[in-house]
Amino acid sequence: MGDRALVFSMCEELRRINPDIKITLVSGDLIRDREFFRATTIRRGVLGLPSLVKAAMRSDLILCGGGGLFQDDASLVKVPYWTVRIAFTRLFFKKVIGYSLGVGPLNWAPSRLFARLAFACMDQISVRDPEAKKTSEKLTSKPIHIVPDPALILPPSSEEEAYRILQENAVPLDGPPLVGVAIRRWFHHSPTLIPHKHAVKYHLRKIPGKEKYDRMTSLLAEVFDRMADECRAHILFMPTYNVAHEADYRTCEEVIEKMKSSRKSLIRITDPRLYKAVTGYLSVMLGGRMHPSIFSASMDTPIVGLSYNQKFFGFFHLLGLQDKIITVEDFVHKEMTNELVTLLSEAITSKSSPQPRVDELTKLIRESNENIMKRLRLN
């Protein structure tokens, strides 16, 4: 859902600047994405290479990104894969721009080498947060600009649509604090040559970390039971990454099963615009995924982060909320239930608004897009 929100925002923003623009996307679902993004779609993988070459040769601009393309905490083949794609495209068209890229962690020397090559193929580079900029500046002499994640400017669905789906799922809207929860499976990733989705699909290796994962779900159930008891809150689980190899909804279901309180619901939303609109009804969002945090902040909803890599610190730093994060490793290893309950409770009672800073970041995204299109017109 996060990737779809990001791409949709990019497409809509470019159309706002130039309504006549024609957009081509590489896609894993040609028909669905053609309709959703209102764009020409090209098949992913080797079979799509001829179409990719044709599209590159007739383009005025190629945008690479955004999102976490350059990180190796989960797979050692990810950075080489994207670098080869970028270098291949660069053979047929010179103006390739890195757009709001997620960069880091890059712990493996070959990953950093491939990232250098990818940046060398780019005419211009922007990254999504200060942490990514710090990592990128060690890999290129080109100037690195910060362009926050475009999902910040995703247009939400109407309040009426959000209200309707909450009512249909019997979510109470008559007073109790509503705590949104977007968590994920963790401790299963290890940097190997086999991407996690293929390891799961083909049973290529034993998935590690089950004991830590079980401990995580038990501790989260304890946190949410306390929130329901001490704050009279209703816990709304909102999974976002529901493909087989991640299956966030299963993690939510496991936590729900371990909870004693009846103040809980699970709602599955596939449209990022509707998801964003629903976050506007929350008292606080616990984001164990990045884009639920981004959606919530842009709807003026307080956020608390359960971080699994540096991108959380980058985004929360942009909002001045560095003290609103706990890493998932610390949460489990140090059993930081008290700390997480405190952060969530304070977010509900303080009603602090991230909106002023979000407005600044929105302006930065739109100015960057205007500059890209201005350069395109001049050339």
What percent of the chain is modeled with pLDDT above 70? Answer: 94
Q: Which domains does the chain have, with CATH numbers?
A: 2-151+360-378 (3.40.50), 159-357 (3.40.50.2000)
- The sign one gets for the Cα dihedral 201, 206, 210, 212 is negative
Nearest Cα neighbor of 111 from 66, 171, 68 is 68
Q: Are 336 and 316 in contact (CB under 8 A)?
A: no
Q: How far is CA 367 from the centre of its chain?
A: 22
Q: Torsion angle, CA of 223/224/227/233, rounded to 10 degrees? A: 170
Q: What is the DSSP string of 179-222?
A: EEEE----S----BSS-HHHHHHHT-SPPP-HHHHHHHHHHHHH
Confidence (pTM)? 0.93
Determine the pLDDT at residue 379.
62
Q: Which residues sit opposite 146 in a β-bridge?
A: 127
What DSSP element (H or E) covers 343?
helix 337-350
Q: How far is CA 175 from the centre of its chain?
A: 30
Q: Summarize pLDDT for 79-107 with one digit per residue, the tens.
A: 999 999 999 999 988 889 999 999 999 99
Distance CA 229, CA 102 (A): 38
Rounded to a whole number of angstroms, the distance between the first and last alpha carbons of the chain is: 35
Q: Summarize pLDDT for 113-141 with one digit per residue, the tens.
A: 999 999 999 999 999 999 999 999 999 99
Q: Are 220 and 183 in contact (CB under 8 A)?
A: yes
Determine the pLDDT at residue 195.
62
Q: Summarize pLDDT for 164-206 with one digit per residue, the tens.
A: 999 999 999 988 999 999 999 987 566 565 665 656 565 555 6
Q: Which residues sit opposite 180 in a β-bridge?
A: 236, 285
Nearest Cα neighbor of 307 from 101, 106, 131 is 131
Determine the pLDDT at residue 242.
84
Over range 304-330, report the average pLDDT: 95
Distance CA 189, CA 246 (A): 10
Q: Does the pLDDT at position 255 exceed 90?
A: yes
Which amino acid makes up residue 323? D
Task: Name the packing angle between helices 2-17 and 355-378 (round to 10°).
Answer: 60
> Which range (208-212, 343-347, 354-358) has the least confidence?
208-212
Distance CA 278, CA 13 (A): 22
Distance CA 59, CA 33 (A): 19
Q: Are 147 and 368 in contact (CB under 8 A)?
A: yes
Structure tokens at 365: 């995204």
Let me know how long the chain is. Answer: 379
Distance CA 296, CA 276 (A): 7
Structure tokens at 1: 């859902």
Determine the pLDDT at residue 147.
97
Task: Name the packing angle between helices 210-230 and 337-350 (round to 10°).
Answer: 40
Determine the pLDDT at residue 26.
94
